[in-house]
Chains A and B, each alone.
Chain A
């Protein structure tokens, strides 16, 4: 799986949406992307890419494109 495919999979699974909905997706634009969902997204990204995100980056991650 490519990095982009992995990234997309995380968003789709976390927010239970189709890949077609990813472009333009923003924080709080779908029901599951609230603050709790945001931390689930962060945890999933960290697991998928074996990284630890800084708090500033967590706060900045306000859209799929970011």
Chain B
């Protein structure tokens, strides 16, 4: 139980890597403020069962990443619990694929708003609390597309690259205050986000991997768990690829 007695904020909990991370953290003893976009009965039932099974609390918190007032209200709910926050996992994100010359600027700005600026808003708030408690771990979910580029995903890869730059800068600014900041760069993971990708594209990706299959969300959440736990106490400013050895 790597996170026994700890409290974590996780965004994007409704599906994919976020949901797997929620489950992994709860299975490892962490209480969680589980952030998602909108109220959902199935999600609430999932949180309740997970919390009971692991004897932790899981508090669903809902807000739209495009609405700063909603984010502010949600963060106030979290801080009003007056509990230490041991980790923040910024997972929520979106993509809208298009080749560069066919991307409307409004769409690019929206993707940056969701994938980068909203994450920075949340991180600014939560790390202020972490600095006061003199410790914490922030894990930003970037993407291999931020490191390698990805045809038809300029907005997504650029916004995820911005997260990496922020990770490295924040790790330098917050280290002496006891806060570590790292990033994960998942490869091609079997999630709802990738279900819409044509099979031939997926096959092309798999061909370039050393481990010739898509990753699963728990293979990413286990890496997030490592970075949230004391096992990574000497790790900060790093980007960990979870990509099956893709070239």
Interface SS of chain A: helix
Beyond A43-B131, A43-B132, whether A55 also contacts B79 by CB under 8 A is no
Q: How many residues of A contact B (CB 8 A)?
A: 7
B124 interfacial by beta-carbon distance below 8 Å: yes
Interface pair B124/A55, CB less than 8 Å apart: yes
Residues 59-89 of B, flagged 1 when their CB comes within 8 A of A and 0 if not, give 0000000000000100010010000000000
A52 touches B131 (CB 8 A): no
Q: Is the CB of B76 within 8 A of A52?
A: yes
In the complex, which of the residues A39, A43, A52, A55 has the most CB atoms of chain B within 10 Å of its own CB atom?
Answer: A52
A39 to B174, CA, bound (A): 12
Query: Which residue of B has the minimal Cβ distance to A50?
Result: B82
Query: Please, which residue of chain A has its CB at the minimum distance from the CB of B80?
Result: A52
Give A3 Cβ to nearest chain B Cβ, in Å.
Answer: 21
A54 to B71, CA, bound (A): 12
- Bound Cα distance A47, B133 (Å): 12
- Asked whether A52 and B79 contact (CB < 8 A) given A43-B131, A43-B132, the answer is yes
How near does chain A come to B65, taking the closest CB pair, in angstroms?
17
12 contacts between A and B (CB under 8 A): A39-B131, A43-B128, A43-B131, A43-B132, A46-B132, A47-B132, A52-B76, A52-B79, A52-B125, A52-B128, A54-B72, A55-B124
Given contacts A39-B131, A47-B132, A52-B125, could you give 9 more A-B pairs where the C-beta distance is less than 8 Å? Answer: A43-B128, A43-B131, A43-B132, A46-B132, A52-B76, A52-B79, A52-B128, A54-B72, A55-B124
